[in-house]
Homo-oligomer: A and B are copies of this chain.
């Protein structure tokens, strides 16, 4: 009966994501999103209760992509299938690094991630893990992926931090300086999969 909405939630979250991708997370403000949509600031509040809800919408938009791709092939070892699923999560989040800090606070609610977890648990179950082993394994995988993605985007191994470490006094930090020197040839990809392989090996493969 009354006036219909002129914007969809998808438009909202897409606009917010566009702002983040363009100006980074600090650039995200109700004003900026409103400008992006061509409406007034306060009109936004007809769609979300507060800024937090807008952030949750963006996170959901980004994370939903993790499940939009086809399911993993049943072929291959379970290690290969878990690796594929983990890679999918990594590339999904990595596509929008600016959103990363928001995912921690708003992760729980995402159906996409829930379905991802369900799939991983399934593969682990088929691999012969018991109920409690499965939980520990899933949480460990999640912890590793979360931490690794963060390290990759907030303190990359090939970045300024590593060169700073390489410049430390070698007498006091012999291992670190040596590590920093040889770390320059280690790509983020090899690093990530190396650590993941450790975890999978520990899982019994």
Contact = CB atoms under 8 A, between A and B. Distances in A.
A139 B157 contact: yes
A101 B173 CA distance: 27
A10 interface: no
A122 B178 CA distance: 11
Does more than half of chain A's interface fall in helix, strand or loop, or is it mixed?
helix
Contacts of A157: 139
A150 to B, nearest CB: 6
Interface string A15-49: 00000000000000000000000000000000000
A179 B131 contact: yes
Interface residues of A, number: 57
Contacts of A186: 132, 135-136
A139 B173 contact: no
A58 to B, nearest CB: 17
Contact of A173 (B108, B114, B136): B114
Interface stretch (A64-72, A81-89, A197-205): A197-205
Interface in A109-161: 114-115, 117-118, 121-122, 125, 131-132, 134-140, 142-148, 150-151, 154-155, 157, 161
Given A104-B150, A114-B173, A198-B202, 13 more contacts: A108-B155, A108-B164, A115-B173, A125-B175, A139-B148, A139-B157, A139-B191, A139-B195, A140-B144, A142-B147, A143-B147, A147-B150, A199-B202
